[in-house]
């Protein structure tokens, strides 16, 4: 189903080629919950390349949903931080938008989170999905107890994700039962709690600025790309640990890291040693992060990890 876009006063609307609103011609596929009719596409970070934008929006429209895209998503250059903050608020408060899906990460969210009027957003319990640089947004939501944050695949992921990741996305959003996930045990122990976390450097940014949510009783996930050196990541993790930020966590889970070769060997050795210094159980190899098989995580859905590394969602 071909997707056409046209510019309104404040946002792009993705429509089916006949001119009908997407969702009126095809029954929604279950990619989003039954109450979702319109998906808002938002950016607080980098611009999404045109090819990924078209592929992602076409897949949502073809699945039977309307797509409303904030006008800064494709540029032509990154909008000022103040503009990105206002457009995020506008999408959140737009009665036509039922759920917010970030277009991509990259960089820039650090300049935006302090400009958002979080108190104004309390009027709506908006569901918001993003990871990578958007770790800053979803974890600020958690810290301020505003909205319903999720971390996982964004619009930029829709062209490369696996069937497992796509199916999991729909089941996690709808609250459906999920199959268990087997993870690697680094420090054995049972754990139970609500999740949080995301990109290591973004979690460290929140921690350094005193804006990070509490880890008490939480299962804390960490992921990262290979753009960041092992030296930087290890220093940031050690700083958070040494300051006691992780001391009350229910568990720490190292998810997908994109490092390869010598860097990967050094990182794996560090993570193994680091696990032994934490007071909680520690696990690795959960499929979340910059990988095609990334599984969506709901910050309001409790998880349980058995000592043998069997991870289940309640």
pLDDT in tens, 170-213: 999 999 999 999 999 999 999 999 999 999 999 999 999 999 99
Residue 4 pLDDT more than 90?
no
What integer is the mean pLDDT of 19-43? Answer: 72
pLDDT in tens, 126-161: 999 999 999 999 999 999 999 999 999 999 999 899
pLDDT value at residue 29? 73
The answer to the question of residue 93 being in a domain is: yes
Tell how far CA 270 is from the center of its chain.
25
- Do residues 142 and 58 both lie within one domain? yes
Query: How many structural domains compose the chain?
Result: 2
Residue 3 pLDDT more than 70?
no
- Do residues 145 and 91 both lie within one domain? yes
Structure tokens at 14: 């993705």
pLDDT band per the 50, 70, 90 thresholds, residue 18: very low
- Do residues 41 and 130 both lie within one domain? yes
The answer to the question of residue 258 being in a domain is: yes
The CATH number assigned to the domain holding 22 equals 3.40.50.10740
- Do residues 195 and 269 both lie within one domain? yes
The parent domain of residue 117 ranges over 3-160
- Do residues 137 and 37 both lie within one domain? yes
What integer is the mean pLDDT of 163-172? Answer: 97
Contact between 12 and 72 under an 8 Å Cβ cutoff? The reply is: no
Mean pLDDT across the chain: 92
pLDDT value at residue 111? 98
The answer to the question of residue 106 being in a domain is: yes
- Do residues 7 and 121 both lie within one domain? yes
The answer to the question of residue 85 being in a domain is: yes
The answer to the question of residue 121 being in a domain is: yes
**CA nearest neighbour of 129 among 226, 33, 225, 11:** 33
DSSP three-state, residue 8: coil
Q: Tokens 């796509």, residue?
A: 166
pLDDT band per the 50, 70, 90 thresholds, residue 14: very low
The CATH number assigned to the domain holding 294 equals 3.50.30.60
- DSSP notation for 104-164: --SS-GGGTGGGS-HHHHTTS--EEE--GGGHHHHHHHHHHT-SEEEES--GGGTTT--HH
The answer to the question of residue 130 being in a domain is: yes
Contacts of 25 (CB under 8 A, 6+ apart): 16, 18, 64
Asked which of 160, 189, 210 is the last residue of a domain, the reply is 160
- Do residues 21 and 154 both lie within one domain? yes
pLDDT value at residue 57? 96
DSSP three-state, residue 208: helix
Burial classification of residue 284, based on how many CB atoms lie within 10 Å of its CB (0-12 exposed, 13-18 middle, 19 or more buried): buried
Residue 19 pLDDT more than 90?
no
The answer to the question of residue 281 being in a domain is: yes
The answer to the question of residue 172 being in a domain is: no
Residue 26 pLDDT more than 80?
no
Asked which of 160, 189, 216 is the last residue of a domain, the reply is 160
Contact between 163 and 274 under an 8 Å Cβ cutoff? The reply is: no
- Do residues 26 and 139 both lie within one domain? yes
- Do residues 100 and 189 both lie within one domain? no
- pTM value is 0.92
- Do residues 31 and 153 both lie within one domain? yes
Residue ranges in the chain assigned as alpha helix (H): 50-62, 81-93, 118-121, 135-144, 163-174, 200-208, 230-242, 261-276
């Amino acid at each position: 189903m071909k997707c056409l876009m046209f510019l309104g006063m404040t946002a792009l609307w993705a429509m089916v080629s006949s001119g009908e609103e997407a969702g009126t011609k095809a029954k929604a596929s279950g990619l989003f919950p039954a109450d979702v009719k319109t998906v808002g596409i938002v950016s607080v970070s980098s611009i999404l390349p045109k090819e990924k934008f078209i592929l992602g929006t076409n897949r949502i429209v073809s699945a039977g949903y309307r797509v409303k895209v904030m006008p800064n998503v494709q540029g032509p250059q990154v909008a000022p931080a103040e503009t990105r903050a206002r457009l995020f608020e506008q999408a959140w408060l737009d009665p036509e938008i039922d759920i917010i899906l970030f277009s991509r990460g990259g960089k820039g969210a650090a300049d935006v989170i302090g400009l958002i009027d979080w108190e104004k957003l309390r009027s709506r319990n908006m569901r918001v999905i993003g990871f990578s640089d958007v770790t800053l947004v979803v974890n600020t939501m958690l810290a301020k107890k505003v909205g319903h944050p999720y971390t996982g695949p964004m619009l930029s992921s829709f062209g490369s994700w696996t069937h497992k990741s796509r199916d999991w996305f729909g089941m996690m959003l709808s609250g459906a039962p999920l199959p268990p996930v087997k993870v690697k045990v680094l420090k054995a122990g049972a754990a139970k709690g609500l999740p949080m976390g995301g990109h290591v450097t973004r979690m460290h940014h929140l921690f350094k600025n005193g804006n990070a949510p509490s880890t008490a009783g939480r299962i804390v996930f960490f992921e990262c790309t290979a753009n960041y050196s092992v030296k930087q990541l290890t220093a940031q993790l050690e700083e958070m640990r040494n300051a006691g930020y992780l001391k009350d966590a229910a568990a720490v889970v190292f998810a997908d890291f994109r490092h390869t070769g010598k860097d990967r060997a050094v990182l794996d050795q560090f993570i193994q040693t680091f696990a032994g210094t934490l007071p909680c159980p520690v696990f690795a190899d959960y499929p979340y992060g910059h990988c095609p098989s990334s599984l969506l995580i709901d910050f309001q859905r409790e998880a349980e990890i058995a000592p043998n590394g069997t991870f289940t969602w309640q």
